[in-house]
Amino acid sequence: MNKIIKTDADLDNCIFFIQPVEIWIGDYLDSRSYLYNFNHISIETREGFFYLREDIEIRAISLIN
């Protein structure tokens, strides 16, 4: 079971502990990555992609293959 990341504290923990995440847009898995930065509007992944927080669901996962 993957934990859904919702709060700023959850996002901070993902960055600090280098937690791999999945970025979901609706029912579509868009990316598996690590979070790099965020603000109240968007998040940035390690690869430099930006997502609007209101458009996505972030799920913490155990590892990236």
Domain boundaries, the chain: 3-60
Q: Indicate the SS3 state at residue 27.
A: coil
pLDDT value at residue 1: 56
Low-confidence spans in the chain with pLDDT less than 50: none
Residue 51: the pLDDT is 98
- CA separation, residue 2 to residues 17, 33, 34, 48, 57 (Å): 16, 14, 15, 23, 11
Residue 13 is predicted with a pLDDT of 96
Distance CA 61, CA 41 (A): 23
Quote the pLDDT of residue 2: 82
d(CA 50, CA 27): 19
**Which pLDDT score is estimated for 62?**
83
Res 65: pLDDT? 57
